A and B are shown apart, each in its own frame.
Chain A
Amino acid sequence: MPASVTNFATHFFVTGEPMIYGADVAIVLVSLAILFVLTYFKKWKWLWKEWLTTVDHKKIGIMYLIAALLMMFRGGVDALLMRTQLMLPNGRFLQAQHYNEIFTTHGTLMILFMAMPFIFAMFNIVVPLQIGARDVAFPYLNAISFWLFFVAAMLLNLSFVIGGSPDAGWVSYPPLADLPFDRGPGENFYLLSLQITGIGSMATGLNFFVTIMRMRAPGMTLMRMPLFCWAVLSASVLIIVAFPALTAALALLLIDRVAGAHFFTMLAGGNPMMYVNLFWVWGHPEVYIVVLPAFGVFSEVVATFAKKRVFGYASMVASMMVITVISYLVWLHHFFTMGAGPGVNSFFALASMIIAIPTGVKVFNWLMTLFRGRIRLTPPLLWTLGFVPNFAIGGATGVMLAVAPADYQYHNSYFLIAHFHQVLIGGTVYGMIAGMYYWWPKVFGFLLGERLARHAFWWFNIGFYVCFLPQYFLGYMGMTRRIYTYPPGMGWTTWNFISTLGAYMMGIGFILIAANIVQSALHGVRDTTGDPWDGRTLEWSLPSPAPHYNFARIPTVHSRDAWWEMKEARRRGEPVQESTEPLRPIHMPKSSGRPFILSVLFFVFGFGMTFNWYVMAIIGLLGVGICLVLRSFEFDTDFYIPVHEIEETEAAYGRS
């Protein structure tokens, strides 16, 4: 082989790590297996027609869900690698550079490629069904959002075996992330994949804001809306106003790295702290973006499984709105130690403490809903109950961190690590898993078995405390984040060892969840009624899984908990609306392959920019432009489902 080719290949592919070679082999084998299965079972056409080109919110939701679970696995493996390295002093499992790459990808994947798609999965699966709509406001844009997220996730994961992963932390602060200190393509992978998925997230925020504002069923006023939809509304508002700050910060850093500008350099008039400022202008609302939907899930779950109306509906709505606004005014608490002065630090410390109040209101409301309810301890409620103490501890340590002078001690210690894992796992992950168990029958038509679900919950929940409570102590003992090894004799060994055991327990919990899904897919109880939990909101009025047009007749809503009220009216023998109106043709969007193609072209652009291969980048960008222009001149985008087809579909579900 010529020397130039060898030289290129050794820099292009990541070399020198047995684990990476293992990953190479695994990626090639899995890809070949997927290609073989698709070809052998002649599924290519099915894949293209049913999934790659779909604009159906339910299918897009399923794809988000699968992607989120895969990324949770990927990020979880990162976490286990890190905990294995830190289990004993002077660990030699990982090299320093490899450790840096792993904590960077762990954070990036878990926030942007696990938590975000997981909440979007819930948005897509639930919102149109809950508000009585047939799809989201912009179905085509919805498909673009998903595929942009998907190619961005692939781009970031590719860095693991090609070119090298980003290694400047998930926050990617300059000057460390700027060119003089980080020459490799890893940081470019980070910047471009976040930029691409950011476009998708922004579009999703807009999409669901408009969907909730404009597409509610007749009679469903805002104050009759299920609380999950309120949560999605607040999260959407936050996405719309927060993501531009991230886009700006990443774009400026990319210009610094690619074009040699000086926005965030140490010299020539740059100021790295401005990046930190902009990053957290997005970063703090972001944690509320991922936790508010979880709050929405808990509100639905406690009401259903206590068989009661949610306690204090109006105060729930008000506290979510207050959180939405105040979460925008607290971002400096991520960098109190920058030393912006007593005035600035006091303001942001106070705002950070105030936000605990509406959150506390919500916790009490959930507890009051459960109070004297007819409680059924199903898996969704189990995860909800697991969330409450978790979030109480996480919230309390959050208030401790919000005390600016004390934060100088906690900053970047394991105390902080324990705190944000407690709120993000205890809040978002518990919430999303609760939502997954709750809406699973609606999406797939069968229930997840309860026995394995309980085992999974207890392994994960106990493992969580075993893993993260010791990290509070480690923080107090002076262990800082992002160190890859520590000497013996610091007094940290015992706690680190315990923490690693807890991480493995959480890993077992995750495996049990996966086993639960597989086992139930094979032997699960089928949901024939469409309403397995005796639910309260409109999605349970539909058969499971819902027909692709959702509602044959758009329901008219007269109160909160619309489906519950309809069932009550039926029990009392009052006349109900169903099947009195004639069916009418249903207006639906057409499938389109262009969102997928557009996203692949974005991938080409991102990959070219990552390696500074500008010809490739320009080709990708031109392709994107052509796709946008073609869409602008496309008018044949929708069709009508004729009445007899609706009748046949409804009859197949046993409904008239």
Chain B
Amino acid sequence: MSTHQERLQQPSGEPSHHRQHGITLPVIGFVLSIILTLIALWAVMNRVLGAGSLIALILILGAIQIFIQLFFFMHVTESKGPNWHAWMLALGLVFVIAIVAGSIWIMAFGALSY
């Protein structure tokens, strides 16, 4: 069996696996996403717009939120190797559109038939 010291030793020539990330980027993202949430809450609580435009506003805020998540937290611009994440994002977009558009289409039931 090996000694404790030996197990901790890192073989020479291998770079450390821990890369340092700055803390500013996630903090900015965090603040921005909170601001977006507060705008949404404020707009709905005070009924600043009509129902239709309010829904549109919420959707736009949601779309901005997605980009903040991608750039500030998920580091979408940093990658090594093939850009699988681009494919995944495209697929994610298909699914998001399916849920949002599908749900609106489904939940508008009755509106047409009456």
Contacts and interface: CB of A to CB of B under 8 A. Distances in A.
A278 B107 CA distance: 11
B109 A344 contact: yes
Contacts of B7: 639-642
A271 B17 contact: no
A274 B95 contact: no
B1 interface: yes
B6 interface: yes
Given A213-B84, A281-B99, A640-B9, A271 B107 contact: yes
A245 B100 CA distance: 11
B17 A281 contact: no
Contacts of B95: 241, 328
Interface string B39-79: 00000000000000000000000000000000000000000
A341 B107 contact: no
B11 A640 contact: yes
Given A271-B107, A585-B11, A644-B2, A245 B112 contact: no
A241 B11 contact: no
Contacts of B103: 274, 277-278, 281
Contacts, number: 64
A325 B11 contact: no
B18 A241 contact: no
B86 interface: no
Contact of B107 (A277, A635, A638): A277
A587 B8 CA distance: 10
A645 B98 contact: no
B17 A338 contact: no
A603 to B, nearest CB: 28
Interface residues of A, number: 32
Secondary structure class of chain A's binding surface, majority of residues: helix
Interface in A550-596: 584-585, 587
Chain B interface category by residue count: 20 to 34
B2 A241 contact: no
Contacts of A325: 91, 94
A341 B110 CA distance: 8
A180 interface: no
A344 B106 contact: yes
Nearest to B106: A340
A418 interface: no
Interface string B1-22: 1100011111100000110000
B2 A645 contact: yes
Contact of B98 (A213, A328, A339, A644): A328
A447 interface: no
A329 interface: yes
Contact of A642 (B2, B81, B91): B2
Contact of B109 (A241, A245, A341, A587): A341
Contacts of A584: 11
A642 B6 contact: yes
A588 B101 CA distance: 45
Interface in A271-298: 271, 273-274, 277-278, 281
Nearest to B92: A241
A640 B10 contact: yes
A82 B80 CA distance: 54
A213 B113 CA distance: 48
9 contacts: A213-B84, A245-B99, A273-B109, A274-B103, A277-B103, A325-B94, A340-B106, A584-B11, A645-B2
Of all A-B residue pairs in the complex, the 5 with the closest CB atoms, nearest first, are: A340-B109, A241-B95, A639-B7, A642-B2, A585-B11
